[in-house]
Chains A and B, each alone.
Chain A
């Protein structure tokens, strides 16, 4: 790190209170004049436009729309935008590229936390944990009963992963030791790393028909949008469990509701929905066999801390014209 010879520190606007690991890195660098929206809630638009004026660097979250208006308000000093996320659909990439601004983001560091949450959600769904907790609280628990709250276990089962990327593979690794008999996966082409988990590459149709657990882990593209629809669910086993922690738009939610409420599939667990948040009166929230989480895939203290550090380091690299740990190619 170097100080500018004019002794002018670089102005940085931070749009939220971020985990202190990142803040400490920014403070210790000694080159930033930090202006922080010190709250857990998003910065209001007016405050954002004011705060970025003259900034050299902008550290933001996925809830901040960084469009032409914000970039204009910032002015010509702005060199780098660093987002505390792996997604970047909140950034107007064309506008940013046009102005020669660099962008940092946070891929990879959240793989473990997300895979762990996916398995947590799968287990909570197939072993009926939320139902169990509810029965305990409302007096439905009278005594030990042989078939009460029985679920479907992973032992001897067939698991199908749609999209065996880093997260899909990490999920498969974590499921295998539960006694999974067959691990199927599908995607555009086979993956050599599947060998590690004895994964079988199959057609989507085969995976859907033969799996006891269907886990969606693909990225959202025009090909995968609405992939999980009426036809998809109609091919699944009646006893099958459906899990989605990828993107809400991969699932047709009306069709999923139909499949769950008619007993066409046994249960579903979702960490992502359309929209987010899901309105509290949404039909899916009325179903006992549907578990909905509020997009907490990467929500662990250590992962958010690492994301925070990475975001800060990306920002500092952008300010000093150095190589970023993880730069988004525009």
Chain B
């Protein structure tokens, strides 16, 4: 999976490489549409672009984000951009790209980094990667929930630092899923997939809230539609699965936390912006809720001196919900397919409706 594709080293000898960029095609093909790939994406996507014979592409050949100045330079004259969620695709960038730009394909299911109004205005089509990452994200959400409720991080720490003494009756006790009520804020594909995985842990009841009831999805997991208030009051485990929109921004705040149970576990793998982190800190440090697990924060990365790190009952992961080898390759392949279809003026496998 981590083997470098061979053309890179071959090309490296053929041309003087500017820091971290690689041209995927030789100059004879320079009439092909230009594409810029903003990060070293997993091999499956790059193979698809290369083998298509349809585009010439440049790539920011690094694991780290492309600097803004470089990005604005490189998108000039491009017909397609393949990006990840760290690139803000806004008016400034779209202007820098110019009128040739037809397709923006993001290797993510979230699209809060895209200025949809600006894209729509310019008639640019957008591809994204729903579904292929649902399993991975649901799996990581459950992993994070269990790590939080069963205090795995505290436990591994005790095992390493000598806190592990003799067997004690209430040492490192956690909260069980059996006979609990699990609440989901935002019932989409990922919310359903999470519930499907939790059911076999003998969860007693699933409840959810959303802008409106979602009967088709809710029936798959026998979940009851409730108000946000009821969700807070009844949940032993609360999973945040909504998209980040103006309506959901900061929705997990003191108003929510103060209504939750003392033994409740709060899990967020959606977007950091959905949570008011100061309020979460207060809730955790005063014992208003039992624990929290976050895979997303504001900002990302979260600065290492952030107060949330001082709390034993807060588990923070570096946004790895879709981080499985197969999933990231699938996302890469889908993003490439979306891009190529868009450039051909055809139906994309997964197009974001603007």
Which residues of B in the span 159-193 have a Cβ within 8 Å of any Cβ on A?
159-179
Total B residues in contact with A, Cβ cutoff 8 Å: 74
Q: A136-B318, A292-B156 are in contact. Are A308 and B143 (CB under 8 A)?
A: no
**Chief secondary structure at chain A's binding surface:** loop
**Do B155 and A143 have beta carbons less than 8 Å apart?**
no
**Do B158 and A150 have beta carbons less than 8 Å apart?**
no
Say whether A202 faces chain B, with CB atoms less than 8 Å apart. Answer: no
Q: A19-B169, A116-B150 are in contact. Are A133 and B200 (CB under 8 A)?
A: no
Smallest CB gap from B301: residue in A? A141
**Do A145 and B64 have beta carbons less than 8 Å apart?**
yes
Q: A176-B200, A294-B158, A308-B169 are in contact. Are A149 and B175 (CB under 8 A)?
A: no
Query: Of A137, A147, A295, A300, which is within 8 A of B174 by CB?
Result: A300
Query: Of A61, A143, A291, which is within 8 A of B65 by CB?
Result: A143
**Do B325 and A130 have beta carbons less than 8 Å apart?**
no
> Which residue among A155, A285, A303 has the maximum number of chain B CB atoms within 10 Å of its CB?
A155
Say whether B139 faces chain A, with CB atoms less than 8 Å apart. Answer: yes
Query: Of B151, B200, B304, which is within 8 A of A137 by CB?
Result: B304
**Do B156 and A148 have beta carbons less than 8 Å apart?**
no
**Do B169 and A18 have beta carbons less than 8 Å apart?**
yes
What residues of A have a CB within 8 angstroms of the CB of B315 in the complex?
A: 129, 133
**Do A155 and B159 have beta carbons less than 8 Å apart?**
no
**Do B152 and A277 have beta carbons less than 8 Å apart?**
no
Q: A153-B327, A301-B175 are in contact. Are A144 and B84 (CB under 8 A)?
A: yes
Say whether A173 faces chain B, with CB atoms less than 8 Å apart. Answer: yes
> Which residue among B86, B151, B169 has the maximum number of chain A CB atoms within 10 Å of its CB?
B169
Query: How distant is the Cα of A127 from the Cα of B174 in the complex, in angstroms?
Result: 21
Total A residues in contact with B, Cβ cutoff 8 Å: 72
Query: How distant is the Cα of A299 from the Cα of B149 in the complex, in angstroms?
Result: 11
Smallest CB gap from B153: residue in A? A133
Query: Of A141, A152, A308, which is within 8 A of B318 by CB?
Result: A141
**Do B304 and A277 have beta carbons less than 8 Å apart?**
no
Query: Of B196, B199, B318, B328, which is within 8 A of A146 by CB?
Result: B328
Query: Of A128, A136, A277, A300, which is within 8 A of B159 by CB?
Result: A277
**Do A150 and B328 have beta carbons less than 8 Å apart?**
yes
**Do A135 and B167 have beta carbons less than 8 Å apart?**
no
**Do B301 and A142 have beta carbons less than 8 Å apart?**
yes
Say whether A107 faces chain B, with CB atoms less than 8 Å apart. Answer: no
Say whether A117 faces chain B, with CB atoms less than 8 Å apart. Answer: yes
**Do B317 and A136 have beta carbons less than 8 Å apart?**
yes
Query: Of A128, A133, A153, A302, which is within 8 A of B139 by CB?
Result: A153
Query: How distant is the Cα of A177 from the Cα of B2 in the complex, in angstroms?
Result: 29
Q: A40-B169, A120-B147, A127-B320 are in contact. List 14 more A-B contacts (CB 8 A).
A: A63-B166, A63-B167, A120-B150, A138-B304, A141-B301, A141-B318, A143-B86, A148-B318, A151-B323, A153-B136, A277-B162, A292-B159, A296-B171, A296-B174
- Offer 15 A-B interface pairs, CB within 8 angstroms, sorted by A: A127-B140, A129-B143, A132-B317, A135-B318, A136-B304, A139-B301, A141-B301, A148-B320, A149-B323, A153-B139, A277-B165, A296-B151, A300-B173, A302-B175, A304-B169
